[in-house]
Chain A
């Protein structure tokens, strides 16, 4: 049985030019032989993604109904993985939704973070905060540290360096995010910049 993601290509074509709707417009109707109401993927839309574990770059197909994830499995058209996924790749669905043991109903993964939190000095637990509060207070702390530890000239050379901050990570993000991180961190003056490549 040859299944192709032809609908996918069609739908993305429609997305061109409608940038606001771009994000979710990349989905297209799932390939189904008939619309049996018992079929798990009935009335779902699919979009392709790439596995979040090792750097194999295996393809995944995410099936979505009414804005919620219904299933993740391998992308059969993907030339590397040809529909396959290992134990970790095959479990990516559970990073968002899990099955409750008692009710056998799908529930949100209780291990995921859902909102910003802060741990105050000396505290033994988290405090929930709003995004606005988090952004405002982090920016203030960053500025204070930068202003206090900035080295504008070093050994007679313009250095524009901030020794008081370090940044770590990047192998988990998409390239566009990595560039944003590199660009903002470096522009703040950070030279202690590193990622998972060594560990």
Chain B
């Protein structure tokens, strides 16, 4: 009953707040502290409204006015957050491509209104892709509850489920697209109905059994070749152990792992002895922008039975790949020798224009999601030099990331918000490698949204258009027993 009364009271409060005039405001000499932190961020012209609230929850009302250099303005007032009208927002951004906006925030407290120094938002002329795709899952250990793969339109607040594990028994992971194009798509199902769903050239999905007698197990961590003909996979014998008294609660590690490339046209896996060495753990394969190289992470394997997990350190390596013949090169180059710095590389992601490669660096291992020290680094592929992306790194975990199709935006997952639940952030990277301050995925009522959602945004990736994913057909495929077997090139 008390709760109901509170709710009614807050509705009354909200309605009382909206439309109030900011008067007799005390001018503060600081910029406002808002949630999410959008102060000085660079945004794409087609992003959804950056709604925000006062970081301080004691504010009774928030008032925000956005103005541009042409005299246009946009106003919003709310009890909880400033929610801008979506069409007015897009119109304002469209008029200010490559320009900046000034945001003046006032907040009402018990003692009246306070007005803060304005802050800027920079509108990049570089647009961002249609949306992102991610898995929503509780940041758990071994057992899973409800989860699914979702698509979010970045120009609005619309989120759709592609598929949820309420439709079948099992879990769903490793969604992958060819440079954000959902016409080529790969998706894994684990559990009783294990399968890999593959769609090529916007054709129908096929359910595959990716396990063969010549590989370690099921294919995971897919990455599409730019031609759409190949998908690079790794096969991993993965285990988990749990810390008894460490903030990095979980260690996910491989006891063996290999790489292979799947030829979609010929339904065969392409293997190389260099990529399946017993003494080396190879994982996270990705193709270069031109499709002629395969980048991956590699670490010296631990002696059997050893649990010296903090001595497993992955370097960033590369091998040639011939897209015509599907043959691999005869040698492996080490691109980033992280072992030397007593660090470990994971999740390499080359930009699609071939300029950069972003990777995660942590103290050890390859599952940096559970490492609070994990940060993102940017490798300039023209100079071969790496640098930490200090503009976007935080004290907490930064791990998975991907590039937009125009290579000007990055989405990355970070646990900076509360130290556990992963949120997607975006940053702009220009052709010189300058990185902007990141901004969190906009939501209509951000505090309420992120506080109420007990799910992590897992493996965010851009999509250039809606996925047109028929979840009913997909669930029929999954629940059906038929699986097409992966072949292996002789």
> Are A and B associated in one complex?
no
Please give the residue numbers on chain A whose beta carbons come within 8 Å of chain B beta carbons, in ascending order: none
